[in-house]
Structure 1
Amino acid sequence: MKVTIHHNPDCGTSRNTLALIRHAGIEPTVVEYLRDPPSRERLVGLIAAAGLSVRDALRKKGTPYAELGLDNPDLSDDQLIDAMMAVPILVNRPFVETPLGTRLCRPSEVVLQVLPPLTEPFTKEDGEVIEPEGLREPPSSTPGS
């Protein structure tokens, strides 16, 4: 399966998403989008393929979002894309593309929507365990509860 991740290695969510892809047995094409930003056409395509609005694809935390006045609701999509092209850290991440679809993987387990089902549990950097659906045990029922 061909998988591409638009990745920021300094982002824990992006690292967990990449690790989940590899845990699924897939070695993806890794695009470090801060070093190699997508073209305008590519960025617009990723956002559309993920079913997002341009504003939904903007990263606010840890970026100059407010300083640049991007919280102004009157800005057009073109103006927001211009800002993302000029300052790539404004592009939320990670975007993942597979034959099953494109997703902005926040939280990281959103990537499971576009990957084959996991067969083994996966442990995120923070220790949270992502269980494959088929391996989860049903809740125990106690008579009289």
Structure 2
Amino acid sequence: MSKYAVVTFVQKRIANPIVRSVLLRGWSLPGYALLETTGRRSGQPRFTPVGDGSDGETFWIVAEHGRRSAYVRNIGTTPRVRVKIRGQWRHGTAHVLPDDDPRERQRYLGKRLSARLNAVAVRSLGTDLLTVRVDLDPVR
């Protein structure tokens, strides 16, 4: 079984459902945020736990499986997203950045311990790192 198959099985069947449930209930988990995309086929909302890459009015994600990640493919179809950061929903527009260096991006974001821990997990479990930038809408 490939590394990708093992990691996606554990994430999809075990880790993500638990983290998603906690975040949807309104609790915060240090180092995590919740990304809402629109399903590219179904048009239904899809919720994916991601590392807390908040940086002012920009939210950064390093997708550990690149374009194989369902949320990255969803963004390719509908770039308007929502991100739940520390209990607050923010709307924004996501951009896939194939020319950005995801490892350097993680170093830049690694100011907080929780971000560093997430970066270690993404680097060790990831198979094809890819940067996604979400330009957050102004707070009303």
**TM-score under structure 1 normalisation?**
0.29
Q: Higher Cα Rg: structure 1 or 2?
A: 1
